[in-house]
Structure 1
Amino acid sequence: MAAVLTNISYCLTNPEDDLRQFDIYYPEPSKSTEESQSQSSSSLICFIHGGAWRSEDKRDHEQTARNLVKATGCPVAVPNYRLTPRNNTDPAFFHPMHVLDMLQFLSFIRGWKPAPSSNGASADGHRAFNSNSLILLGHSCSAHMLASVFLHNPDSRLAPSPELASAVKAIVFSEGIFDIDLLLARFPDYRGWFVEAAFGAAPSFDEYSVVKYPLLSRGSSSPISWLVLHSKGDTLVDQSQSDAMFAHLLDIAGPENVSLNVDSLKEEHNDILATDTYANLVGDFVKKHVH
């Protein structure tokens, strides 16, 4: 079973805030020197949970993280971020609060090293990872969050540092929300359920449509590899969201850097995450595209 360190703060100004902490799962250390060295230089997978910007917790995704460790051989970090209260009208809890937390986490973890005896576990050599090789997984609303940073957002607060931008090698979206107006056309009740709480009341949310954002400049870094997943069994977010993002990525990133799979997953919106199929799709993608 994967080793785990839990409740690690990425917010130095408020380390007790459990909504700005993360857990990290590791492959079991190998007794082989060659395999141990390979583990210590592996990519880091960061799974960002969904929940309509208002719910879920990193602990809900322990099985997903363990499956991903097994399928990829990489450590997997699962962060929390601050959530929007139900029926919220306070702009402090509007977008991009959640994205800023995620950006803080990603910036933090690139320089993070586990302290000896943290949560009762020693900082063994196998607990290292390559901080210049990040694989980011976004599900549902967190797919929108990742796209808000790693496509070129007009909001300068959400620009990643050049170092972080170049460290991201691959991004996987599953059951993503990308175009909120398109989502509301299909599910109008979502406006009162969670959209206005997270974005404020507005006749249109076109400015937050990440399927209109251009490609982020990465200097001389190699292009990001993108995978868009959608389940045929999802009744909460329809496939038009993933189709729109896939078409946009094809246009701006090119077919050599973008993949789509809408055939392999059959389960409901969140149920896909605990399946071996989801983990294996990510694992196969990582092995093919991340070196």
Structure 2
Amino acid sequence: MTLTPHLGLQYPPPPSTLRHARHNVDIYLPTSSPTKGLIVFVPGGAWISSSSLDETLDQLPSLFPQDYALAIVNYRLSRQRGEEELAIKHPSHVLDVQAAVEWLVEGGAGGLLDEKTRSNVWIMGHSAGGHIIAQLLLETPSITPLPDSVRSRIKGYMFSEPIADIDSLVEEYPDYLTWFISAAFGPPPYLSASPANEKSPFTLPTIYQTNPPSVLISSSPKDELISSRQPLELKARLEGLGFKDTLRYEGDWLGKNGEEGNHDQLLKSESFGRLVKDWVKEEL
């Protein structure tokens, strides 16, 4: 089976935001089988460099379930130079991804996705993308939440090598402050942008208190950029908010299969594809 690409599809920008060239999604659709659902993938790139066409992502359409549609979301980036880029700071990245998810799930990507596909949605985020989707899973006063009509269709969230507590990240990796954190978030402190911090204002949405989605957090000791501290802090935070039976943590999924892979290259591994397929199948 193969997936047919539909590249660079523009999604409506967030409210009060001008349309940007990066407000687009690449969608891959099954060509020879009924579509069982939709996987939405949010790339990382430290909020400063990311593209749905990055070489590190080129295996995803073949690794992921071939009977699911795949949408890879682009969003505006923060950079350390250039007047326009300097203006893009948190929560702009989150608002862009939220707008894309609403367009995919409620709008059907302009008619490209049918009702069945949009009723079985799985959200994934890698690295900084994990930080972004944590703010779709949870709620915070500074960001208008996803509508319940969208949340009710999301069956699961997967966090791959996620960043989840910015202050904790800077404490562990001080060089990251000048490398990309300041560009994306401004000066410290970062409590209001740290979903994994138990003192942060993030809460569990009402709809998830009675019907929590499946959550998978994956971390690899082969990752040279993000240690297990961030994923484990996210796990502890979600458990504290009430996620128990629907939360799974995979701490050495790559090593178990004898595969190698650094922070980004692990996205090309057969083990990563199997991890995603098994996660989606849990709810079938």
Fold in common (TM above 0.5): yes
Aligned partners of 2:128, 2:279: CA distance in 1, in Å? 22
Correspondence 1:1-291 to 2 at 5 A: 1-11=2-12, 17-30=20-33, 36=34, 39=35, 42-60=36-54, 61-70=57-66, 73-87=67-81, 92-110=87-105, 111-113=107-109, 129-155=116-142, 157-202=143-188, 204-211=189-196, 212=198, 213-218=202-207, 222-266=211-255, 267-288=261-282, 290-291=283-284
Q: Is the 8 A contact 1:22 1:79 kept in 2?
A: yes
Number of aligned residue pairs: give it. 268
CA contact (8 A) 1:45 1:137 kept: yes
Aligned mates of 2:42, 2:192 — CA distance in 1 = 23
Displacement of 1:222 after TM fit?
2.5
Deviation at 1:253, TM superposition (A): 2.9
Contact in 1 for aligned 2:25/2:74 (Cα 8 Å) = yes
Deviations 1:49-97 (A, max 9, x none): 0000110200122321331133xx2111011101112257877311001
Quote the Cα distance in structure 2 between the aligned partners of 1:12 and 1:152. Answer: 20
Larger Rg: 1
Letter in 2 for 1:175: E
80 and 59 in structure 1: CA distance in 2 versus 1, 3 angstrom threshold? same
1:5–1:129 distance in 2 versus 1, CA, 3 Å: farther
In 2: Cα distance, 1:16 partner to 1:44 partner: 25
Partner amino acid, structure 2, of 1:208:
A
Runs (5+) with no aligned partner, structure 1: 31-35, 116-122
Name the CA distance, whole Å, in 2 between partners of 1:28 and 1:257.
Answer: 32
Identity of matched residues, %: 28
**Partner of 1:26: helix, strand, or coil?**
strand
Query: CA separation in 1, counterparts of 2:58 and 2:218?
Result: 20
Letter in 1 for 2:276: V
Q: What's the TM-score once normalised by structure 1's chain length?
A: 0.85
More helix by share: 1
Deviation sequence 1:210-255 (CA, Å, 0-9, x none): 0132212217862111000001101101100001111122222332
Secondary structure of the residue aligned to 2:205 is coil
Counterparts of 1:141 and 1:219 in 2: how far apart (Å)? 23
Gapped regions of structure 2 (runs ≥ 5): 256-260
**What residue is the counterpart of 1:119 in the other structure?**
none
Aligned-pair Cα RMSD in Å? 2.4
